Chains A and B, each alone.
Chain A
């Protein structure tokens, strides 16, 4: 964190604000989402391939937002926000990924096969 500033608008975080960067970040993220939507609508490849492609495009959108909107980086002003995000991201991914994988793989291997619409009754 940098030193105190008499005028709040001289603060380094204000200096990072950039309209062209915001436009670039928004357009990149929107383009990534549009391509992901297109892949879904035209049913390109297998569902697994489509999901992997959409996941990659989500990463592209999130990285463009991090760089161009949040203005994260290794500079003095933003480095600790970047560090905090880098430490939280694995928790975010592991929380979702492990839960999803464990439940779906365990469900198939350990749960009784119950008819989806029939129920257990006679």
Chain B
């Protein structure tokens, strides 16, 4: 082998590296793994959504309210749209628009969480706690896992509002905003599955 054919080290300036693209792609891969966690939860729910696993307690039909869940759908989709409008504000280099729409998204997301908590608390007050049956355990776990994701998104949003106003659109802030919005949109995608396969299927 001649020593002119092989390059072991690139001297001088390294090739251009897209830090933002690399980080958003890494976060995307995390979300794909998160999707598989939800797949495991949906699979378990599919198995336990059976009268035997209700152990004489309520089945899905008795505890899901699709119309109320649709209000949650409207709130969450509105929150995601508002997050997208915040990204559009960032594209226009407007800090007030980005922070303002993030605030609206956070308020709508808080409304979503409030409705979800109300539903879960109502069940608990009626004695339908997670330990009542395997079905209820799985119902609480699936819905609450999604709810916890939304709550984490709300916390992240609060941090980003402060960072946008304090630091402006620096590369780290832009990267975090892109990742946060992907995470936020991901919650709406998972909610589509929860709404259809838990709330609508339960009411059928």
Contacts and interface: CB of A to CB of B under 8 A. Distances in A.
Interface residues on A, range: 35 or more
B93 A2 contact: no
Nearest to B47: A103
Interface extent on B, as a size class?
35 or more
Contacts of B36: 88, 91-92, 95
A109 interface: no
Contact of A13 (B24, B52, B171): B24
A30 B171 CA distance: 33
Nearest to B20: A11
A4 B204 contact: no
Contacts of A88: 32, 35-36
B87 interface: yes
Interface in B148-204: 169-171, 174-175, 178, 182, 185, 188-189, 192-193, 195-197, 200-201, 203-204
Contacts, number: 160
Interface in A21-41: 22-23, 26, 29-30, 33-34, 36-37, 40-41
B113 interface: no
| Among all A-B residue pairs, the 10 with the closest Cβ atoms | A22-B84, A100-B46, A99-B43, A8-B174, A1-B21, A95-B39, A19-B88, A8-B171, A26-B81, A58-B196
Interface of A: 1-5, 8-9, 11-15, 17-19, 22-23, 26, 29-30, 33-34, 36-37, 40-41, 47, 50-51, 54-55, 57-58, 61-62, 65-66, 69-70, 77, 80-81, 84-85, 88, 91-92, 95-96, 99-100, 103-104, 107, 114, 116-117
